[in-house]
Structure 1
């Protein structure tokens, strides 16, 4: 009986060991499954963390916005290194150019910055083909309103190239096929049927090229900047006052591109009429400083010209030769 009871106890112990082992295996299996189940989530969290770290790193190392420099720039990225050096102008100072300092007549001269060309149809260093005809110029007055001329080497410009009086006062070198040439000043307009390129010369000027009886010859012509001219003068139109005025420039060596008047706080460009006066309809600038600009960009500022209608007043200055 004692052996039987011992055998029963041993069987019960073995069953408990087996149950415990089985339970342990089950628990271990459950833990393994749980670990396997949770593994992808762990990788995803790790991936998110890595992506966040990369994004933060890119944010930190991204370049500064355009125009802003890094707090610790390298020498090559410094503002001084990026700033281009100003180019030296290759153009030579024109002969006879007026000094930029104030002159004894109260006028000053300077170059207009950034002007490529202020010319109209007629430009410097260009040769134009055309024809020359002849007319009786009388005392030399014409559409440009200069009045009688003491020098009859004058001409009327065709309406197209006259360009609302832009050609007034221009000096033109005219060449004929026979080799003869003459320099004339534009004082008048040649209306249609005068064609573009056509010049109607005074009898005195035409005779320098060919006999007046010829009447019409083929020519070429170009703009010139003669040395044998005096200084520029200013004339106020009849009826001018501090409340309305017309201003004319006379004797300018180069074509006149602009006439401006001082407003006290700046400059006002006046409109040029077809009879060659610049008008200030409301009186702005009448009697104040005047600024003249030629087609090459030279600018002359003239002071001390009073509103004296129909009186020619000298400025004592002139544009440079070209």
Structure 2
């Protein structure tokens, strides 16, 4: 059990009797005076500025800048102050100018094919699609009776029998329409045909269904099916491009078709108050303006090489072929 002396509370009158102490008091005062003088001398020493960081803080600041992942010193600002000299970029952050995009074989053929007349509004040439310049395609040739020469491309009847129907994959929603193709058989015989029709399944990718007259120049019709190699041409032509508005076209709805272009057509645009508007191409080779926008306005044609031809405004005359007097360059 604790003794009573541990429990007893001090009594002011009895335990803390005040007695004057002079000697020790004077000694303490003297020591305090000396300490004050030393403190003032250090505070006003030359080269010491108010608020300057001490050695420990400077070292901590240096560590935070040079050691990745080091914890921030809570006494220092988290954002470093800008230095007078521009810092050199570190290897991990250094950037180099982007290299010129590499040209794929198909794009290189387009880029090296010659000078184009692209409008400043167009920054890149449109893709050539599945059929690309400078590319040889392997496939087979079959034959069919072309009748009056009309086909899926909606060019209408023709006396030209050196034509062919392109398989659906390479037909590519009429993008192959009007393309001139060089066809070579294993025997070495070669012909040039123009794509005017589509060959649906079972025609496979790479297959051409030739007019009987064209097939007969490569092999006897009795052969039925032969191996061929074919490629895109940009031939010499004597005619110029023509424009035809589809039957039923008005200023409120119209379909526009380009005929007689030397190179496959990649885009057809009409001029509007807001600039050039690209129309959607159909499988039957007309570009539609569902709301009538641009019907009767200027037309801009772009081939697969990126060359552009501008046709002045033409009257909306359904099913009438209107000549333009312009033609794409030969490649």
TM-score (norm 1): 0.72
For 1:289-321, what per-residue CA distance to the aligned partner results, in whole angstroms no more than 9, with x for missing partners?
011111111111101421111110111001111
- Corresponding residue number in structure 1 for 2:170: 161
In the alignment, structure 1 residue 144 sits paired with structure 2 residue 146 = no
Specify whether residues 60 and 302 from structure 1 end up closer, same or farther in structure 2 by C-alpha distance, changes over 3 A only: same
Instruction: Give SS of 1:173's match.
Output: strand
Specify whether residues 262 and 30 from structure 1 end up closer, same or farther in structure 2 by C-alpha distance, changes over 3 A only: closer
- Corresponding residue number in structure 1 for 2:213: 204
- Corresponding residue number in structure 2 for 1:297: 306
- Corresponding residue number in structure 2 for 1:274: 283
- Structure 1 CA distance for aligned equivalents of residues 227 and 38 of structure 2: 105
Aligned Cα root-mean-square deviation (Å): 3.7
- The one of 295, 309, 313 equivalent to 2:318 is 309
- Corresponding residue number in structure 1 for 2:189: 180
Residue 239 of structure 1 deviates from its aligned partner by 0.7
Instruction: Give SS of 1:50's match.
Output: coil
Of structures 1 and 2, the one with the larger relative CO (CA 8 A, separation 6+) is 1
Residues 179, 264 of structure 2: 8 Å contact kept: yes
Answer with 33-42 or 183-192: which moved more: 33-42
Residue 183 of structure 1 deviates from its aligned partner by 0.8
For 1:165-208, what per-residue CA distance to the aligned partner results, in whole angstroms no more than 9, with x for missing partners?
11111111111111111111000000100000000000111112
- Structure 2 CA distance for aligned equivalents of residues 153 and 41 of structure 1: 104
Q: Which runs of 5+ in 1 are unaligned?
A: 1-21, 65-89, 101-108
Instruction: Give SS of 2:187's match.
Output: coil
- Give aligned pairs, total: 267
Instruction: Give SS of 1:149's match.
Output: coil
For residues 1-322 of structure 1, the aligned pairs below 5 Å read 28-35=30-37, 46=48, 49-51=51-53, 59=81, 61=83, 94=114, 110=119, 113-322=122-331
For 1:269-301, what per-residue CA distance to the aligned partner results, in whole angstroms no more than 9, with x for missing partners?
111111111111111111110111111111111
Q: Which runs of 5+ in 2 are unaligned?
A: 1-23, 59-75, 87-107
